[in-house]
Amino acid sequence: MELCAWPFPPVYTQSHIDYVAEVVLQVFGRREALRGLRMTYEPPFLRHFTGALRRGVRAAACAEVEGRGSRAAADLTRLRA
């Protein structure tokens, strides 16, 4: 009996998974220098396909926003999305 479904389709090989792990580690290592994206247009449906994005603020600026209230938390959530 299968209790948990494997999240990767069988077409992916171990080399695919190794590559993804390597890229995730590289991005994590550069996390302070990377910028996020800010959503400038959010349609009512399929926002991840048809929304408009522009470059956002650096991760350090996001850390400053934390703890300033619900409006700031909502903005931070949007910046991280």
Please write the tens of the pLDDT for every residue from 20-76: 999 999 999 998 888 888 888 888 888 888 888 888 765 555 555 444 444 555 665
Q: Report the pLDDT value the prediction gives residue 24, as an integer from 0 to 100.
A: 93
Q: Give the residue with greater pLDDT, 57 vs 10.
A: 10
CA distance 81 to 76: 9
Cα atoms in the Cβ-side hemisphere of radius 13 Å centred on 57? 13
What's the angle, vertex CA 45, arms to CA 40 and CA 51, rounded to 5? 25
CA distance 57 to 32: 11
The answer on pLDDT for 15 being more than 60 is yes
Q: Report the pLDDT value the prediction gives residue 22, as an integer from 0 to 100.
A: 95
